[in-house]
Amino acid sequence: MQPLEVTGIGVTTCLGAGRAANWRQVLAGRSGLGPITRFELGDCPVRAGGEAPELSSDPGVSGPPELQQLAAACVEALECAGCSGGRVPAGRRAALVVGSSLAGSSTGEKFFDGYLREGPRAGFCALEGYYIEGQLAELARRLVATGPSALVSNACAAGGSSIARGAALLRAGRADLAICAGYDPLSIFTFAGFGSLLALSRSAVRPFSSAREGMLLGDGYACIVLEPPGRRSASEGAAMGKLVGYGESADSHHLTHPHPQGGGAALAMRRALAVAGISPGDVGYINCHGTATRANDSAEANALRAVFGESLRGVPVSSSKPFFGHTLGAAGTVEAVVTLMALRHGFLPPTLNLEPQDRELGELDLVPVGRASGFRYAMPNSFGFGGSNVSLVFEKGGCDGES
């Protein structure tokens, strides 16, 4: 496909607000995970998660806190793309595609809290903010995104799918700018849900380590702006990178468990490479889904071997989730931002807490310590419940420099 330029990036996680703050923490190898203060944990043995900092300014939208955080990330991305005030200029058709699993969850939490205290007398007015289409319309109004808009909700692949859908709209000529976002808050709903699956860690997040216990959850709000090549003026500088390929699949193996051999994940990667028109040997870095659960790590390692074969030994692969936790529907977008920053700066993000490495997963370069590296293509992967899989391929698109 014709490469699409990534002209803007915005992100907020527990590492901080803004792409610069997040990248500084990645460079330093510091995790943002810590004690949960947002909701009561009772006697739950899992005590940690990733809480994003509170907003420092009004993003200009009305709605629940997670919508305001998302708006702030989108505004940052649009301003990075040269759109003054985080608004799409007049005369430009901007598509808005948002990926999420928990959209409006804080509203649901308030309702259930009231219902537990007062029963049916609590009323259903608290659910007014749960109208997701209304939230999407409010965000589109703030950003002046007058083109097509859509909400994607295919579990933990949603953020990656939002980027793929935005690219498809541009390729179809339905827009000339795509705002591709993903968001999910740290929520008591998913905390309890993943806890019931025994998928949460009582200690650190350790993807691909023989000592891994599971994941931790975190806030995630991220956005990238895609445009056809040539739309960025010389005064605005080089693009942040290029999207050259994307692939999706659904293996439908199990409600919560991935296919043990990673069949669907491998298919998504192969499709992304085919769209990009490159071979597996051209990929210089893979940002893994890397949840630190035994089933997911094993399936992903099998999928990588199926696609990359013996050459996988020479491809650096790492998981970013020890930095900010599993951000669920935001993961594909948040980790796409990390991948783009890695390309831009020529730096391989480490897999924190790796040792002891699980040798049963095969010989992998899991980047135990971050290091400089020159590479042209990078692939972030996102896989979700129900067999949803997304792989993206980014190409370096500008010189190293400011974030």
d(CA 95, CA 93): 7
The size of the chain, in residues, is 403
Q: Is 257 a catalytic residue?
A: no
CA 331 distance to own-chain centroid: 3
d(CA 103, CA 135): 9
* Residue 98 identity: V
d(CA 380, CA 336): 6
d(CA 218, CA 33): 8
Q: Is 254 a catalytic residue?
A: no
Active-site hit among 74, 156, 180, 288: 156
DSSP 62-78: -S-HHHHHHHHHHHHHH
Task: Output the six-digit token pair for 264.
Answer: 């669907």
Task: Output the six-digit token pair for 154.
Answer: 């295919």
User: Residue 184 belongs to what H/E stretch?
Assistant: strand 177-184
Angle formed at CA 307 by CA 247 and CA 253, multiple of 5 degrees: 65
d(CA 233, CA 243): 19
CB 374 within 8 A of CB 346: yes
Q: Is 125 a catalytic residue?
A: no
The DSSP secondary-structure symbol of 376 reads S
Task: Output the six-digit token pair for 185.
Answer: 């808050």
Active-site hit among 14, 180, 288, 326: 326
Active-site hit among 14, 180, 223, 289: 289
CB 366 within 8 A of CB 357: yes
d(CA 63, CA 69): 10
Active-site residue set:
156, 289, 326
